[in-house]
Structure 1
Amino acid sequence: MKNIAVIGYGVIGKRVADAVKVQDDMNLAGVCDVVSDWRIQNAVRKGYSIYAATPEAGNEMKAVGISVKGNVQDLLAKADIVVDCTPKKISTKNVEYYKQKGIKFIVQGGEKHETTGHSFSAENNYKSAINLNSTRVVSCNTTSILRTLTALKSAGLLDYARGTLLRRATDPWESHLGGIMNTMVPERDIPSHQGPDAQSVDPDLDVITAAVKVPETLSHMHYWNVKLKKHATKDEVLNAFKTSSRIKLIQYDQGLVSNNTIKEMFLDMGRPWGDMYEVALWEDMLKVVGDELFYAYVVDNQAIVIPETIDAIRALTGIETDGAKSISKTNESLGIN
């Protein structure tokens, strides 16, 4: 049983905390933040131990009746590993502190690979993360790229891949603060950062990405053109994707024609926040023409990295050395498949 500290109780942090709570080999030591509003008050209602990131934050929390267990140092003293879910400028500073304290830590995909020297995707490189001091769980888009291309690569089908990403403009709960309206903003650089990021996990991937920011908040959408190593049938490709428990094949012809309808399906399934931990890939849209493959899928930017983070905790702490067993355990706890 390992004690887990969550620093930053935002979009990712609250989901990581809830996921930790349903694991039978982990204990949530507490959550730490600077806010005292409805966000951290929801953590109080869930019975989580609350820690203040700064003295000022602690005073504000106490002023609104929140029972503060202590500060960051107090929380880390109770933890075997810390999952940092703070914004990247903050987490960069926190990393130096974790290193000074000699505590294992996980950062999210907003950080650079060099921050930890190891980037994590459970189906790719779980084994290489076992007992490391730190890792970076790659971003939502990179996670989806690795899941799908790894499935094709493992089946001996992947030669190279070229993808176009339609990226959400901002997070749903911050859409009143910024984002874009009635326009699209292409990223200037090709490849966009996701392709090289995927190669930080698997250097052998021949992948190039381009990205466009679009005026919506629910998710990202990817279009892929893959050169196969041989002529293949659609069934061969689908069977390759089915080897990943975190790719969900969906049907356009069953009314799942957009990201909002897919989100609604997961809400109806009873997932918290309607979270989709899987890559939702359109089975009936997928086309194979000779040795070329075309497919599209949707990525839940708020949820896809949550199971990866749980697996990363197991790998770094060494409580499970078999990646397949960890993935299965995480899937069962979160209701995947």
Structure 2
Amino acid sequence: MNASSRTRVAVNGYGVIGKRVADAVVRQEDMELAGVSDISADWRSRIVTQKGYRLYGAASEHAEAMQNAGLAVAGTLEDLLGAADVVVDCTPKRVAAKNVDLYRQKGVKFIVQGGEKHAVTGHSFVAEASYKDALGRDSTRVVSCNTTSIVRTLTALKHAGLLRRARGTLLRRATDPWESHLGGIMNTLVPEPEIPSHQGPDAQSVDPALDVVTMAVKVPETLAHLHYWAVQLTRAADKEEILDAFRSSPRIALIRMADGLTAINTVKELMADLGRPHDNLYEVALWADMLKVEGDELFYAYMVDNQAIVIPETIDAIRALAGHVQDPHESIATTNAALGIGLLTEALGGR
């Protein structure tokens, strides 16, 4: 593809999501990374320049601190926005909402993450559910890791005509592994104070027709989230029909305890063995041999990698806003091929 026809993407914020988004962008043939903006002048920004990415300071004082630290700085965030078609805001929760005015002032389309409210953009994104609604928009919000998994799995059942209503319990990791020395919880469980927890209503921001209720509790580990779901189907079904519905989504990987994938740490180890960067699990990893159907009731469990699952969704959201790819299936297939999504299913014998 001609470089001039590629979508120029800026990444604002180089944390656990931002660095994965930047790496994913450079793997897309129809995109180019315009640069990365951040506030730090420590090892994280040094990694940006070592990878050959253009580094920008979020403001002039940040750019100056980076220069004083010996880093090559291309300018400020405002300079970066002048060289971009779309900016992906990966700054901490509630910071992105403050950046929106600048993005609009500069005439740059923008994507925020699930830590922001739906009202910031008026649109919430999961590729298999709301890609077409995002086409040509000025902005969208890629929903949180847990909400992404909920919409993926329930949309697969919905498309198969099997979903009536769903009730889920979420065991949420306490914090990101890289900052577990700063906080987290030990020797306790912390229930989310309201039922439904926020993930259910958030899923309805993507698809208002979903009848879904969630409950959540933080647990003292940092590897991944674990979900348990009880779903009432529209009719009685057998297990294989349910598995076929989940197989219809290329971003749901059916795993088996019988293969030794008996816990979330073993799945993460498999990601490392597959050569995934940062051990990324982009898919929902759903235990096929645990899944149970009783008449019109379905019970299943799956794992969510909160640092990775939203990355392919973000890439698809960039394409939707750019408007060059109209078909969601085409974008999803392109993203999946670039990120190696599907290799997990292949490694497990194509289940």
Shift of 1:276: 0.3
User: Could you tell me whether the CA contact under 8 Å between 2:94 and 2:115 is conserved in 1?
Assistant: no
User: Could you tell me whether the CA contact under 8 Å between 2:8 and 2:32 is conserved in 1?
Assistant: yes
Cα distance in 1, alignment partners of residues 205 and 245 from structure 2 = 23
Shift of 1:235: 0.2
Runs of 4 or more consecutive aligned structure 1 residues displaced over 4 Å after TM superposition: none
Alignment match, 1:28: 33
Shift of 1:275: 0.1
Cα distance in 1, alignment partners of residues 108 and 60 from structure 2 = 22
Paired residue type of 2:302: Y
1:253 aligns to 2:258 (yes or no): yes
* Aligned pairs for 1:1-337 within 5 A: 1-337=6-342
Cα distance in 2, alignment partners of residues 89 and 316 from structure 1 = 22
Shift of 1:255: 1.1
Shift of 1:88: 2.0
Paired residue type of 2:298: L
Paired residue type of 2:310: V
Shift of 1:254: 1.2
Cα distance in 2, alignment partners of residues 99 and 71 from structure 1 = 17
User: Could you tell me whether the CA contact under 8 Å between 2:187 and 2:220 is conserved in 1?
Assistant: yes
Shift of 1:56: 1.9
Cα distance in 2, alignment partners of residues 90 and 129 from structure 1 = 23
Cα distance in 1, alignment partners of residues 93 and 217 from structure 2 = 22
TM normalised by structure 1 equals 0.99
CA RMSD between the two structures: 0.6
Q: Deviation digits for residues 9-44 of structure 1, max 9, x if unmatched?
A: 000000000000000000100000010111111111
Consecutive unaligned residues of structure 2, counting only runs of 5 or more, are 1-5, 343-351
Cα distance in 2, alignment partners of residues 163 and 245 from structure 1 = 22
Paired residue type of 1:120: F
Q: Identify the range of structure 1 (213-222 vs 51-60) with the bigger mean alpha-carbon deviation.
A: 51-60
Shift of 1:180: 0.3
Shift of 1:89: 2.5
Cα distance in 1, alignment partners of residues 128 and 280 from structure 2 = 20
Cα distance in 2, alignment partners of residues 167 and 40 from structure 1 = 29
> Percent same amino acid at aligned positions?
66
Q: 3-state SS of the aligned residue for 1:88?
A: coil
Cα distance in 2, alignment partners of residues 198 and 329 from structure 1 = 25
Q: Deviation digits for residues 142-198 of structure 1, max 9, x if unmatched?
A: 000000000001101111000000001000000000010010000110000000000
User: Number of residues paired by the alignment?
Assistant: 337
Q: 3-state SS of the aligned residue for 2:74?
A: strand
Cα distance in 1, alignment partners of residues 152 and 92 from structure 2 = 25
Q: 3-state SS of the aligned residue for 2:242?
A: helix
Cα distance in 2, alignment partners of residues 236 and 229 from structure 1 = 13
Q: Identify the range of structure 1 (92-101 vs 140-149) with the bigger mean alpha-carbon deviation.
A: 92-101
